Chains A and B, each alone.
Chain A
């Protein structure tokens, strides 16, 4: 059976596991219809021209985790940011692991979507925000239909989350092939602030296919920093659908570190709904082998005096392929918008490719928009210069790549995270030098 049919027919079984009288159930029912109609995207769609899901969809995935699998912290410690005090929301094969987690209800809620969807206490927030900013495309609707578990974070007015929050999804491979559909909701009210780090990690060589949806609401003058670490193995594919709505004078930043995975697609959407907003989209992509990453970004400016800053750096070796498709829409009333986009790439092999495409739709006349894209190789003269100072070739290459990605790394505000990212990069590049650029 094709995956699509299997999913549609599984919906009935899924209904047996949830409360069909809950208001959310109408949303789910509606969503499965949309998925049934739209299905998975194909390369015929302009937005999916360079990314084919065919190979990913052909596996016979199990759709619901069958049993609870446990992991020992010591075995997975390295995937945590463990040298930093954080809240943790951890899932193993789609099920919540209380053993590895650290949640709170003290002033802020850092807990589970499954509780938020079922307890009255959260009803108002769910009614107001659940599935509101998410777009109704096939993949998002599929996730909505099966939405049951994920992270729920609610920061009320004038609160500073006292520590960063880690959201980690493990898959153990106890099932031969597994599909995961986490659903996250993050609501940050006026003047509040939160930092979130998210990671998907497969611990197996069995195929894993994750179709994740995250909705983030950033109220007036609130501030959200979101960091995505995508460093998975070559059997794990990820479609990350993230939707962010920002109110006046809020700041939201998303950093995407795409260091590995089979096929990774980031649909990152920002909707600005007030004046004086700043949206920041930063990315570092370092790939080798046959890995593929597709960054599909959208920033929609709908009010005057807002900014957006996009800076994506990509390094592609061997047969790795990349896509950057950055769309900026500036509505007619959104005068004095400043929208910047840059996408710079280094190809280390002549078999690696990158497709980079800006899409600007600007209907206002008094705006500053700039976009730039470069594709190049490592500068041979710079390499010789460094080597002539005693720095080995491999290290010199690594240093140049660091330097290339440096401004994005510099903008990571959590020092321990920056440190970790630096180590991940050093590891990837096979060097052992103390970078602290």
Chain B
């Protein structure tokens, strides 16, 4: 589904990603872990198409196609979704209207008719129930005045609405208490299928108790320096990142 080859990327002239490789197949869940500042969000944003990051070398292939030239909306139309580490507040646009517009614009781009209002409402109801989101919440301005946890839950609600092929969850666990974490993880697991893939970015193992990854990667200083299975996450939880740094520097 996703193949990243030797990716180098700059922001404001500074090299952040320094030759990163990653391959994710349909049906898989990958966890990307790593210390603060390692470049995890940068990776997520580059896949989603944020323009302030400059790809200087390497390829990002989605189902075999190079997506470098595509704008963020075109990537979304191909099924890419990022749950933001810091969701943006948009006063004046309600959650419901945002989702209606997002879904219908995506359908238009895919050559489909707009979703009938009845179906849209039904879908909104289903997905908000899945994430235990209060109806009142949906008529509030997007993310405005939401708590950290509410923002994250709202991101996964959007994921549920958009039904992406490739979802990248950037620190979705931060700001969630344990009950909310369970709800969100349960939501993500329900959305998982053999046709889609998920990349979970986190620096705690906690989330991975609920969303169990097939592979775990350590991102450090702009590269994936170690990959393994979910046991690697446990080891990182226990020992921190220092031993990895030592291993690399040795």
List residues of A whose CB falls within 8 A of some B CB.
379-382, 384-393, 395-396, 399-400, 402-407, 433-437
CB contacts (< 8 Å) of B178 on chain A: these are: none
A400 touches B90 (CB 8 A): yes
A390 touches B77 (CB 8 A): yes
Indicate whether B175 reaches chain A with its CB closer than 8 angstroms.
Answer: no
Indicate whether B50 reaches chain A with its CB closer than 8 angstroms.
Answer: yes
Stretch from B60-68, B80-88, B193-201 contacting the other chain: B80-88
CB contacts (< 8 Å) of B103 on chain A: these are: 390
Given contacts A388-B49, A391-B105, contact A437 B93 (CB under 8 A): yes
Residue interface mask B87-112, A partner, CB < 8 A = 1? 11111111001100111111001000
Given contacts A403-B92, A437-B92, contact A390 B105 (CB under 8 A): yes
CB contacts (< 8 Å) of A382 on chain B: these are: 88-90
The 25 listed contacts between A and B (C-beta, < 8 Å) are A379-B88, A380-B52, A382-B89, A384-B50, A384-B88, A385-B87, A385-B88, A387-B49, A388-B73, A388-B82, A389-B158, A389-B162, A390-B73, A395-B105, A402-B92, A402-B93, A403-B92, A403-B93, A406-B92, A406-B93, A407-B92, A435-B97, A437-B92, A437-B93, A437-B94
B106 touches A390 (CB 8 A): yes
B73 touches A393 (CB 8 A): yes
Closest beta carbon of chain B to A152's beta carbon, Å: 39
Indicate whether B58 reaches chain A with its CB closer than 8 angstroms.
Answer: no
Distance of A35 Cα from B48 Cα, bound (Å): 63
Indicate whether B181 reaches chain A with its CB closer than 8 angstroms.
Answer: no
Distance of A384 Cα from B80 Cα, bound (Å): 14
Distance of A390 Cα from B73 Cα, bound (Å): 4
Indicate whether B71 reaches chain A with its CB closer than 8 angstroms.
Answer: yes
A433 touches B91 (CB 8 A): no
A interface: dominant SS: helix
Distance of A405 Cα from B73 Cα, bound (Å): 24
Not counting A389-B81, A393-B71, A395-B101, a sample of 6 additional A-B residue pairs whose C-beta atoms are within 8 angstroms of each other reads A385-B84, A385-B87, A388-B72, A388-B80, A391-B101, A436-B97
Indicate whether B76 reaches chain A with its CB closer than 8 angstroms.
Answer: yes
A390 touches B102 (CB 8 A): yes
Output the nearest chain B residue to A405 by Cβ-Cβ distance: B92
Closest beta carbon of chain B to A418's beta carbon, Å: 15
Distance of A415 Cα from B215 Cα, bound (Å): 55
Distance of A312 Cα from B50 Cα, bound (Å): 32
Output the nearest chain A residue to B106 by Cβ-Cβ distance: A390
Given contacts A389-B98, A389-B162, A390-B106, contact A384 B72 (CB under 8 A): yes
Closest beta carbon of chain A to B117's beta carbon, Å: 10
Distance of A400 Cα from B109 Cα, bound (Å): 20
Distance of A385 Cα from B83 Cα, bound (Å): 10
A390 touches B92 (CB 8 A): no
CB contacts (< 8 Å) of B109 on chain A: these are: 390, 392
A388 touches B93 (CB 8 A): no
Output the nearest chain A residue to B88 by Cβ-Cβ distance: A385
CB contacts (< 8 Å) of B49 on chain A: these are: 387-388
Distance of A400 Cα from B90 Cα, bound (Å): 8
Distance of A435 Cα from B104 Cα, bound (Å): 12
A390 touches B93 (CB 8 A): no
Q: Which of B50, B89, B102 contacts A389 (CB 8 A)?
A: B102
CB contacts (< 8 Å) of A406 on chain B: these are: 92-93
CB contacts (< 8 Å) of A391 on chain B: these are: 73, 101-102, 105
CB contacts (< 8 Å) of A384 on chain B: these are: 50-51, 72, 88
CB contacts (< 8 Å) of A385 on chain B: these are: 84, 87-88, 90
CB contacts (< 8 Å) of A393 on chain B: these are: 71, 73
Distance of A437 Cα from B88 Cα, bound (Å): 18
B105 touches A403 (CB 8 A): no
Output the nearest chain A residue to B89 by Cβ-Cβ distance: A382
Q: Which of A389, A403, A434 contacts B76 (CB 8 A)?
A: A389
